[in-house]
């Protein structure tokens, strides 16, 4: 077993996981493919979640109660009541 200093371990970890896109040439090809497929899968999952939320919202929209519009006299009377209550 080879003993390595902490400095060597840190430097090796930077070689294995490059932080800059230009360093991607150092990565193995399969690791790059895995990262891209993971990103694509994450985007697909996000779309499924959005579709699920949309379907639930559509179903709930059928239960919104329609309220008849108040006449002008009723709305003015309600406005006067609010003004009197505030004063």
How high is the pLDDT of residue 84? 79
1 or 64, higher pLDDT:
64
pLDDT one-digit tens code per residue, 44-73: 999 999 999 999 999 999 999 888 887 888
Mean pLDDT along residues 18-28: 59
pTM value is 0.46
Question: What pLDDT, on the 0 to 100 scale, is given for residue 74?
Answer: 82
Other Cβ atoms less than 10 A from the Cβ of 18: the count is 13
**What distance in Å separates the CA atoms of residue 10 and residue 25, rounded to the nearest whole number?**
20
pLDDT of residue 62: 93
In the chain, what are the domain boundaries?
28-65
């Amino acid at each position: 077993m080879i003993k390595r200093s902490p400095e060597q371990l840190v430097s090796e970890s930077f070689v294995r996981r490059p932080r800059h896109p230009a360093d991607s040439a150092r990565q193995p090809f399969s690791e790059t493919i895995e990262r891209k497929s993971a990103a694509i899968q994450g985007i697909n999952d996000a779309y499924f979640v959005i579709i699920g939320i949309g379907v639930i919202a559509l179903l709930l929209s059928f239960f919104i109660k329609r309220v008849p519009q108040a006449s002008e006299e009723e709305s003015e009377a309600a406005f006067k009541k609010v003004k009197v209550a505030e004063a």
